[in-house]
Structure 1
């Protein structure tokens, strides 16, 4: 199991070396936002420019990092479905969603 501190550190490393590599010095982790789920932790981050100016154009598009408990690499949470639902789907093994399945009453 990954501790909260380990999750925050892993998320920080992931963001600085991946999606925000060009803005690494601007990354601000928000450890108080860390939430533990069965699948792993979610941790939010922001950028100094957004925090200092409030300019929404400086905010990260997807500010949620997922740190799985099983040791697989950290990754960005998708923007859809909601983070809580995504984490439940990962825990239950129903992610990624199956394609091509429709309810019988749904029009094609």
Structure 2
């Protein structure tokens, strides 16, 4: 099992090394948003420029990172289905959905 602190650190490493290496100094983790699910944790982040200006064009397109309990790679939550549903589908083994469903 991954702890909350480990999940936040894993999400931050994913963002800095994989998703946004060119904006690593701009990433602001939001550990207060971490939620534990059966499948893993979700952790939100923002960019400094968005926080400082409020300009929505400076906000991340997807601000939710998933950190699985099995320590597989952190990744962005899909924009659909809703995060809670995605996490439940992952936990039940029903993700990705089969064609025609």
Instruction: Give the TM interval when normalised to the shorter protein.
Output: over 0.9
Tell me whether 1:85 sits opposite 2:85 in the alignment: yes
May I ask how many residue pairs the two structures share in their alignment? 101
Task: Report what 2:13 is aligned to.
Answer: 13
Q: Which runs of 5+ in 1 are unaligned?
A: 102-108
Paired with 2:51 and 2:20, the residues of 1 have a C-alpha distance of 16
- 1:72-96 deviation digits (Å, cap 9, x = unpaired): 0101100110000000000000000
Paired with 2:53 and 2:20, the residues of 1 have a C-alpha distance of 18
Q: Which has the larger radius of gyration?
A: 1
Paired with 1:100 and 1:25, the residues of 2 have a C-alpha distance of 43
Tell me whether 1:30 sits opposite 2:30 in the alignment: yes
Tell me whether 1:55 sits opposite 2:55 in the alignment: yes
Task: Give every structure 1 segment of 4 or more consecutive aligned residues whose post-TM-superposition deviation is greater than 2 Å.
Answer: none
- CA drift of 1:100 comes to 2.3
- 1:46-67 deviation digits (Å, cap 9, x = unpaired): 0000000000000000000000
Q: Which runs of 5+ in 2 are unaligned?
A: none
Paired with 1:100 and 1:68, the residues of 2 have a C-alpha distance of 27
Relative to the length of structure 2, the TM-score reads 0.98
